[in-house]
C-alpha cells in the first residue's frame, strides 16, 4: 500500500542499485561498487574519542534540544565565520540537522504550499525532487548542460513557472556532475531569488572536498544573501561521518525558524553525544581533512587515466567525490551501466537516475578502497581496452 505521492517518486536510486548488487552477489559475482558516494576512510580519532566521551555522560542520554545544543550551534557559527568570513547568529540563523539530507527533505514541507513550484537542478540530487513531491509541491527542472558548465540558465525559466515558484535548489560543488560555481554566479542567483521572491536553498555538502588548490565558496559570502538564502552543510564527506547523521542549516532566519518548527513536530533532534563529536570536528584541527583529499585526488587521477586509456572521455573534476562521464557513442546511461556491470562486475550509476538531463552520462565514485578500485579499473581495461 502506497500513497499517490510515494508512487510518483518511485524507488530511491541507490536503494535500487543496492538491490541489483545483492542479486548479483547472490549468484556468486564479485561485484565492485563504484556507484555510491559513501566514504570508505575512517572518521578521525579525535572525533571518535569525543563521541565516546559524550556517550559516557548520562546527561547525553536524554532528549537533546530540538534545534541543537548551544555548543554545537556556536561551533557551527564559528566554523562558518572562519571558513567563509560570514557572521551568523547561532541562536537564530543556525539549526542542527540529522544530516543535510534530512534538512533538504524537510525544507519543502516547511515553506511550500500545495501546487507551488520548486525549481530543481536536472541532473541533481534526487531528494530535491522527491521532497517537493512529498510536500505536494511541483518540481520543475532547471536543465544543467555541459556547454554552460552545468550551471542553470535562469533566463530560460518560463515566466508562468516563476509566478508559482517559491523555492530554488542549487548545489555547488555539484552532485552528480562535479561542477563548481564562483561568487559571480552566486551573486546572480541571489539577485534572481530576490527579484522573484524565492527562497534559495544551497546544498553545500561538498565544500571541503576539492582539489588542486580550489576552495569552494559559500553562497552566503554574497552581500545580502542571508535575506533570501539558506545553506546546508554536512560533516559526512569532510570528516568521513556519513553514518553519524549530523549537519546544519545556516542563513536566512525565517527559513531556519520554519525548518526548525517543522522538525520539532517530526523528530527529536541529534543525539547529544554526536553533537559533542561534531563540535570536536568543527573546532578541532582542519588539517585532518588533507589526507582524505590526497587519497581521493590520487584515486581520481588513476580512474580518469584508466578510463581514457580505453577511449572514454571523463573530465578531471576539481571537487566532489565523483567523475561524471558521457557514455561512449551516446549510449543510454542505463544500457551502458548494465553492459559494464555484465562485462566487468563493476557498478556505475546511470545518469538518468538524477533526472532526464542526466541521460547520456554515468557517475563513478571515488569512495571505493584503493585495492578494489584498482581491481575495478583493471577489469574495465581488460574488457574494453
What pLDDT, on the 0 to 100 scale, is given for residue 5?
Answer: 84
The cell 559516557 sits on which residue?
56
CA dihedral 255, 258, 263, 266 (to 10 degrees): -130
* Architecture of the 45-286 domain: 3-Layer(aba) Sandwich (3.40)
What pLDDT, on the 0 to 100 scale, is given for residue 12?
Answer: 60
**CA-to-CA distance for 72 and 54, rounded, in angstroms?**
13
**CA-to-CA distance for 75 and 342, rounded, in angstroms?**
48
**CA-to-CA distance for 36 and 363, rounded, in angstroms?**
9
| Domain assignments of the chain as residue spans, ordered by start | 4-42+288-384, 45-286
167 has which bridge partners? Answer: 118, 199
Same fold, 4-42+288-384 and 45-286: no
**Candidates 3.40.50.150, 3.40.50.2000, 3.90.1150.10, 3.60.140.10; correct CATH number of 4-42+288-384?**
3.90.1150.10
Cβ atoms within 10 A of the Cβ of 368, count? 24
What pLDDT, on the 0 to 100 scale, is given for residue 20?
Answer: 76
Concatenated DSSP letters of 302-333 = HHHHHHHHTT------SBSSEEEEEPGGG--H
**CA-to-CA distance for 313 and 301, rounded, in angstroms?**
13
- Would you give per-residue pLDDT tens digits along the chain (385 residues)? 888 888 888 766 656 667 777 888 898 989 999 998 999 999 999 999 999 999 999 999 999 999 999 999 999 999 999 999 999 999 999 999 999 999 999 999 999 999 999 999 999 999 999 999 999 999 999 999 999 999 999 999 999 999 999 999 999 999 999 999 999 999 999 999 999 999 999 999 999 999 999 999 999 999 999 999 999 999 999 999 999 999 999 999 999 999 999 999 999 999 999 999 999 999 999 999 999 999 999 999 999 999 999 999 999 999 999 999 999 999 999 999 989 998 999 999 999 999 999 999 999 999 999 999 999 999 999 999 8
**CA-to-CA distance for 317 and 305, rounded, in angstroms?**
13
What pLDDT, on the 0 to 100 scale, is given for residue 15?
Answer: 65
Q: At what angle do helices 272-283 and 45-55 cross, to 10 degrees?
A: 150
**CA-to-CA distance for 376 and 210, rounded, in angstroms?**
24
Q: Which long-range contacts (CB under 8 A, 24 or more apart) does 62-67 make?
A: 62/272, 63/268, 63/269, 64/268, 64/269, 64/270, 64/271, 64/272, 64/275, 65/269, 66/260, 66/263, 66/264, 66/268, 66/269, 67/95, 67/96, 67/260, 67/263, 67/269
Q: At what angle do helices 289-309 and 370-384 cross, to 10 degrees?
A: 10
Q: How many alpha carbons fall within 13 Å on the CB side of residue 89?
A: 9
pTM: 0.96
Amino acid at each position: 500500500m502506497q500513497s499517490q505521492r510515494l508512487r510518483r517518486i518511485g524507488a530511491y536510486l541507490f536503494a535500487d542499485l543496492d538491490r541489483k548488487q545483492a542479486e548479483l552477489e547472490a549468484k556468486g559475482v564479485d561485484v565492485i561498487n563504484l556507484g555510491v558516494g559513501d566514504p570508505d576512510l575512517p572518521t578521525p580519532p579525535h572525533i571518535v574519542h569525543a563521541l565516546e566521551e559524550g556517550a559516557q555522560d548520562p546527561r547525553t542520554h536524554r532528549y537533546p534540544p530540538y534545534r541543537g545544543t548551544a555548543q554545537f550551534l556556536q561551533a557551527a557559527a564559528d566554523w562558518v565565520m572562519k571558513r567563509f568570513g560570514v557572521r551568523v547568529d547561532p541562536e537564530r540563523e543556525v539549526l542542527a540537522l540529522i544530516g543535510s539530507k534530512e534538512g533538504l527533505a524537510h525544507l519543502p514541507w516547511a515553506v511550500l504550499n500545495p501546487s507551488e513550484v520548486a525549481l530543481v537542478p536536472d541532473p541533481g540530487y534526487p531528494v530535491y525532487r522527491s521532497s517537493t513531491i512529498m510536500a505536494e509541491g511541483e518540481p520543475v527542472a532547471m536543465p544543467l548542460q555541459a556547454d554552460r558548465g552545468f550551471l542553470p540558465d535562469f533566463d530560460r525559466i518560463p515566466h508562468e513557472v516563476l509566478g508559482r515558484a517559491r523555492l530554488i535548489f542549487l548545489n555547488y560543488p555539484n552532485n552528480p556532475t562535479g561542477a563548481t560555481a564562483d561568487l559571480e554566479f552566486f551573486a546572480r542567483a541571489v539577485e534572481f531569488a530576490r527579484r522573484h521572491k524565492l527562497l534559495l536553498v544551497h546544498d553545500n555538502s561538498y565544500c571541503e572536498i576539492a582539489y588542486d588548490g580550489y576552495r569552494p565558496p559559500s553562497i552566503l559570502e554574497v552581500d545580502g544573501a542571508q535575506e533570501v538564502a539558506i545553506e546546508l552543510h554536512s560533516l559526512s564527506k569532510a570528516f568521513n561521518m556519513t553514518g553519524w547523521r549530523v549537519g546544519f542549516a545556516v542563513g536566512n532566519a525565517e527559513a531556519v525558524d520554519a525548518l526548525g518548527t517543522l522538525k520539532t513536530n517530526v523528530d527529536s533532534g541529534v543525539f547529544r553525544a554526536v553533537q559533542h563529536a561534531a563540535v570536536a570536528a568543527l573546532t578541532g584541527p582542519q588539517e585532518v581533512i588533507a589526507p582524505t583529499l590526497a587519497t581521493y585526488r590520487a584515486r581520481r587521477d588513476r580512474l580518469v587515466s584508466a578510463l581514457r586509456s580505453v577511449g572514454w572521455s571523463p573530465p578531471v573534476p576539481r571537487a566532489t567525490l565523483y567523475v561524471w562521464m558521457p557514455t561512449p557513442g551516446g549510449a543510454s546511461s542505463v544500457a551502458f551501466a548494465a553492459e559494464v556491470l555484465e562485462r566487468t562486475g563493476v557498478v556505475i550509476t546511470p545518469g538518468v537516475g538524477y533526472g532526464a538531463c542526466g541521460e547520456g552520462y554515468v557517475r563513478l565514485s571515488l569512495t571505493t578502497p584503493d585495492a578494489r578500485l584498482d581491481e575495478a579499473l583493471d577489469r574495465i581495461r581488460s574488457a574494453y581496452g
